[in-house]
């Protein structure tokens, strides 16, 4: 099994999403499995800007060196997801959404004809047969509330590229004080155990 782990917290190893992803992968890992680690916050992810769109739209033979490097970068993001059987995504809520580096990464991965296509019946995701664990960490409480504009977005995006087997683990109330943080962590660990026990 190939596991692609994607972290996006600005707090790196100190982030709760990072710690919970460590625990999830430790529980998931079987002998022979391979884990590819990406820390998008540490690496930085370039925005898909006009120059990158132009590079993608230029025939390989006509690309400058810089344009080819841009295409190679985007291709490498897609290939990592294509090769993965399981994605583990650590995603703090930042201003009701995902960290901008994760959004930028999504923008590189959604490519017509490669990861999705439009048919007469609507869009079809081309990355089939994968499972995703999404660990979302929040300072406050948003699960199931109108303020949770993050998880519906992540689910929509993953489904759009063909990944609909998605387990979401919520760690909430982490900045609320009192015993909320401990309660949020304990509930997250219960959700993680349940998700791991759910057959793919
Ligand atoms: C830039 C930024 C924006 C944030 N926005 C929200 C938010 O909209 N809602 C919320 O509940 N918490 C918000 N938080 C708090 C984080 O979600 C919380 O601290 C979480 O634990 C961070 O995850 P991590 O520990 O995995 O890094 C924000 C934190 C930062 C740094």
Residue 200 pLDDT: 83
pLDDT at 16: 98
CA 142–ligand 1 middle distance (angstroms): 12
Write down the pLDDT at residue 58: 98
Query: What pLDDT band is residue 36 in, cutting at 50, 70 and 90?
Result: very high
Average pLDDT over residues 141-166: 98
With a 6 A CB cut-off, is 143 part of the ligand 1 pocket? Answer: no
Ligand 1 and 137: CB distance under 6 A: yes
* Domains of the chain with bracketed CATH: 2-197 (3.40.50.360)
pLDDT > 70: percent of the chain: 100
The ligand 1 atom at the shortest distance from the C-alpha of residue 93 is: 17
- pLDDT band at residue 191 using 50, 70 and 90 as cut-offs: very high
pLDDT score of 178 = 86
Concatenated DSSP letters for 46-102?
Answer: ----HHHHHHHHS-GGG--HHHHHHHHHHHHHHHHHHH-SEEEEEEE-BTTB--HHH
């Amino acid at each position: 099994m190939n596991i692609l782990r994607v972290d996006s917290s600005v707090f790196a190893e100190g982030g709760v999403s990072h710690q919970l992803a460590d625990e999830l992968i430790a529980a998931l890992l079987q002998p022979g499995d391979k884990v590819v680690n990406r820390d998008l916050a540490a690496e930085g992810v370039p925005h898909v800007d006009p120059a990158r769109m132009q590079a993608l739209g230029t025939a390989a033979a006509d690309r400058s060196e810089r344009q080819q490097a841009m295409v190679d970068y985007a291709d490498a993001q897609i290939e990592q997801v294509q090769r993965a059987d399981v994605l583990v995504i650590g995603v703090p809520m930042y201003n009701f959404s995902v960290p901008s580096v994760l959004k930028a990464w999504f923008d590189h991965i959604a490519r017509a004809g490669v990861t999705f296509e439009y048919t007469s019946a609507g869009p079809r995701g081309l990355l089939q047969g994968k499972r995703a664990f999404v660990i979302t960490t929040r300072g406050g409480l948003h699960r199931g509330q109108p303020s949770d504009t993050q998880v519906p977005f992540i689910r929509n995006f993953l489904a759009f590229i063909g990944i609909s087997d998605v387990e979401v683990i919520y760690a909430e109330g982490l900045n609320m004080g009192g015993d909320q943080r401990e309660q949020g962590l304990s509930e997250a660990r219960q959700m993680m155990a349940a998700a791991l026990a759910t057959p793919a």
